């Protein structure tokens, strides 16, 4: 079967029986493997976005800064709504001293259980997964290590990426809280599931 897609009409004709041909990999796949109104399958589209982000880092950072500057109120409202709907995550970078002190007080009380966490690069989409008996304390260590120029806690690949892109473009979230005896098994489960790039040796 010829899967060459030379014109929009030819491409349109190859959508049928709940199947669709990806214009990138040329595979005929079920429609659930495509995002709405996308000609690439999900895998090809994710790869395209990842490559675009890697090749246009400066442009993306510039556009993001301009957007944040022009939409501060909108971003604050969306952030507040997201935080309200996702109370288990503390991914917002703490610029406010009161917020820092609030988190520090929580850490001092040891009221947060052990857990597996993820740190994600918003520019490239690359991730790091770790575990700790005090995950939010580990978050502070990861981000503060950059300021003190030490690799005592942070993964070296993650540290280099933070230096390259700036820690503002990294977010932190706890994937799952668990007993400390389960930490290693849970961490390996999420590493196998997400295959985080910064965990690679």
Highest mean pLDDT among 16-25, 99-108, 122-131: 122-131
User: What is the pLDDT of the chain when averaged over all its residues?
Assistant: 77
Predicted local distance difference test score (pLDDT) of residue 190? 92
Hey, how many other C-beta atoms are within 10 angstroms of the C-beta on 64?
Answer: 14
The Cα–Cα gap between 102 and 19 comes to 52
- Confidence (pTM): 0.47
Mean pLDDT of 128-144: 87
Residues, the chain: 201
Q: Which two tokens stand for residue 139?
A: 């978050």
pLDDT at 106: 56
Q: What is the pLDDT of residues 17-57, one digit of tens each?
A: 688 889 988 888 888 889 888 888 999 998 888 888 889 88
Question: Which CATH number fits the domain 88-199, given the four candidates 3.10.129.10, 3.40.640.10, 2.60.120.260, 3.40.1440.10?
Answer: 3.40.1440.10
């Amino acid at each position: 079967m010829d899967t060459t897609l030379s014109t929009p009409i030819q491409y349109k004709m190859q959508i049928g029986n709940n199947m669709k041909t990806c214009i990138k990999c040329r595979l005929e796949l079920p429609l659930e493997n495509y995002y709405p109104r996308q000609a690439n399958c999900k895998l090809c589209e994710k790869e395209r976005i990842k490559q675009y982000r890697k090749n246009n880092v400066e442009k993306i950072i510039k556009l993001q800064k301009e957007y944040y500057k022009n939409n501060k109120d909108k971003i604050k409202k969306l952030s507040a709504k997201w935080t309200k709907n996702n109370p288990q995550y503390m991914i917002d970078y703490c610029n406010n001293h009161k917020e820092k002190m609030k988190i520090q007080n929580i850490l001092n009380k040891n009221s947060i259980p052990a857990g597996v966490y993820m740190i994600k690069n918003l520019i490239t989409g690359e991730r790091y997964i770790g575990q700790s008996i005090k995950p939010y304390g580990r978050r502070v260590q990861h981000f503060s290590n950059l300021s003190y120029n030490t690799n005592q806690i942070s993964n070296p690949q993650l540290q280099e990426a933070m230096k390259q892109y700036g820690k503002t473009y990294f977010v932190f979230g706890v994937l799952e809280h668990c007993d400390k005896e389960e930490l290693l098994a849970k961490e390996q489960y999420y590493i196998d599931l997400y295959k985080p790039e910064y965990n690679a040796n």
